[in-house]
């Protein structure tokens, strides 16, 4: 019976499929790369040709050994350095730095959605062809991801979290408003809860509305009103519940944690990444290493918050919290990297202007990474954290044709990554600088 049903379904489906419009395939492209950085091997290859067809890379090899198909568009990057599209595992495309402190209260959900469209384009043009967006209101990030995937608006590939989960009064809550003007948590799209089962329900809510990843706040934050940046905000039980529920629904978990104890509780709960990790201690570093947990440390932010925060509306209390963690975070970044912890490139863009993502490479090199290691954090390592090692982070056959290029050599001067000369995503060229 079942087989018969399948057969008749196939018979109905076949003519439908035959009539379906094939998606317009961009013409094949052959890229001539003067230098090609291969983060997977840590090597630079000279004089390579990359073939792209149907949005994917089909061949890579020394020029002369790879023959472009007839009708291929030739892209001459022979004077440039080519590398895989970059990945930022911590962005907030739907918000801007000017919306800090009390300014944040004026932003509506529809405005947030439009902001996301503008920033998606800026981010892509900066060479970031994939981002993990960890925190947005009203599922604006889900809509943005889908619009980008459908080709409606230009932007990076996205994994999104929807509203982050957190405690009442914690880093994810709105603490600026008095009680009578509060955002009522009436079951609307917020992530605020106060018990293990409350959080399991929030994980299910976010999964239902289409998120790829669960974000929760294990400790206080810099930019949140009225909390202590290092203070733990969820119990071990609550974190355990979030992680087991999220993993049951096939979602990885990113936790915001500056505080020493909160970081360790989150790692114990089984999170996949710790964001910020500012006050991590030696034991925390050992635990992260032992469990293979990624540390996603946004070490550029300190400069921007301290220089431009006040004008953007950041409260004096938040600036004081930034002074408390900024330098320590960099020192701990260096310590954790030396100790061999896994790290992925994470900027918290939105805290500073979108499109500036690549500025952090220099800070990472100043604090102990080689340029190649910093590039690996934004390609192979980030791809691993996202569970996408089979499709992004490398220039190799079968991978998405997410390919960027800069003039000069980022291995000698990593700031060259701040000036993208060429950006291709999925075989489509979004920036070519006349090439």
Residues that bind ligand ARG (CB under 6 A): 221-223, 276, 278, 298, 301-302, 305, 322, 325-326, 329, 348, 351
CB of 427 to ligand ARG, least distance (A): 34
CB of 24 to ligand ARG, least distance (A): 40
Residue number with CB closer to ligand ARG (78 or 104): 104
Residue number with CB closer to ligand ARG (101 or 127): 101
CB of 354 to ligand ARG, least distance (A): 14
Residue number with CB closer to ligand ARG (219 or 416): 219
CB of 129 to ligand ARG, least distance (A): 23
Residue number with CB closer to ligand ARG (272 or 302): 302
CB-closest chain residue to ligand ARG: 221
Starting from the edge strand earliest in sequence, which strands make up the sheet with 294-296, in order? 213-217, 252-257, 273-276, 294-296
CB of 313 to ligand ARG, least distance (A): 13
Residue number with CB closer to ligand ARG (220 or 427): 220
CB of 310 to ligand ARG, least distance (A): 15
Residue number with CB closer to ligand ARG (298 or 402): 298
Q: Which of 106, 92, 119, 156 is nearest to 301 (CA)?
A: 92
End-to-end CA distance of the chain: 59
Q: Which of 71, 86, 59, 66 is nearest to 28 (CA)?
A: 71
Residue number with CB closer to ligand ARG (80 or 99): 99
CB of 276 to ligand ARG, least distance (A): 6
CB of 348 to ligand ARG, least distance (A): 5
Residue number with CB closer to ligand ARG (238 or 296): 296
CB of 223 to ligand ARG, least distance (A): 3
Residue number with CB closer to ligand ARG (221 or 427): 221
């Amino acid at each position: 019976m079942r087989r018969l049903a399948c057969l008749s379904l196939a018979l109905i489906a076949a003519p439908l499929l035959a009539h379906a419009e094939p998606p317009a395939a961009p013409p094949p492209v052959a890229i001539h790369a003067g230098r090609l950085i291969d983060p997977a091997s840590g090597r630079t290859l000279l004089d390579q040709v990359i073939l792209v067809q149907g949005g994917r890379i089909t061949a890579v090899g020394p020029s002369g050994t790879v023959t472009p198909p007839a009708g291929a568009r030739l892209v001459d990057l022979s004077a440039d350095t080519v590398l895989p599209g970059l990945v930022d595992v911590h962005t907030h495309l739907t918000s801007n730095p000017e919306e800090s402190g009390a300014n944040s209260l004026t932003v509506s959900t529809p405005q947030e959605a439009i902001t996301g469209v503008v920033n998606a384009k800026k981010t892509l043009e900066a060479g970031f062809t994939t981002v993990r967006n960890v925190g947005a209101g009203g599922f604006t990030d889900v809509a943005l991801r889908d619009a980008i995937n459908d080709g409606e608006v230009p932007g990076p590939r996205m994994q999104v979290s929807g509203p982050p989960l957190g405690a009442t009064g914690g880093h994810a809550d709105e603490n600026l408003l008095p009680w009578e003007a509060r955002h009522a948590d009436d079951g609307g799209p917020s992530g605020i809860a106060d018990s293990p089962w409350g959080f399991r329900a929030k994980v299910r809510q976010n999964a239902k509305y289409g998120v790829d990843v669960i974000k929760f706040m294990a400790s206080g934050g810099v930019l949140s009103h009225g909390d202590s940046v290092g203070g733990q905000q969820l119990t071990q039980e609550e974190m355990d519940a979030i992680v087991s529920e999220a993993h049951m629904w096939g979602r990885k978990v990113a936790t915001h944690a500056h505080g020493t104890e909160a970081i360790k509780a989150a790692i114990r709960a089984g999170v996949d990444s710790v964001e910020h990790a500012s006050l991590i201690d030696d034991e925390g570093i050992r635990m992260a290493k032992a469990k293979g947990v990624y540390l996603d440390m946004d070490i550029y932010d300190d400069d921007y918050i301290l220089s431009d925060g006040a004008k953007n509306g950041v409260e004096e209390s938040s600036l004081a919290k930034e002074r408390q963690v900024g330098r320590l975070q960099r020192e701990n970044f260096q310590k954790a990297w030396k100790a061999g912890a896994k790290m992925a490139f994470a900027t918290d863009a939105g805290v500073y202007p979108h499109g500036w993502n690549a500025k952090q490479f220099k800070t990472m090199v100043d604090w102990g990474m080689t340029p190649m290691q910093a590039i690996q954090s934004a390609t192979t390592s980030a791809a691993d954290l996202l569970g996408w090692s089979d499709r992004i982070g490398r220039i190799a056959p079968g991978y998405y044709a997410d390919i960027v290029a800069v003039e000069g050599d980022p291995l000698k001067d990593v700031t060259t990554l701040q000036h993208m000369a060429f950006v291709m995503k999925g075989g489509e060229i979004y920036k070519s600088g006349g090439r």
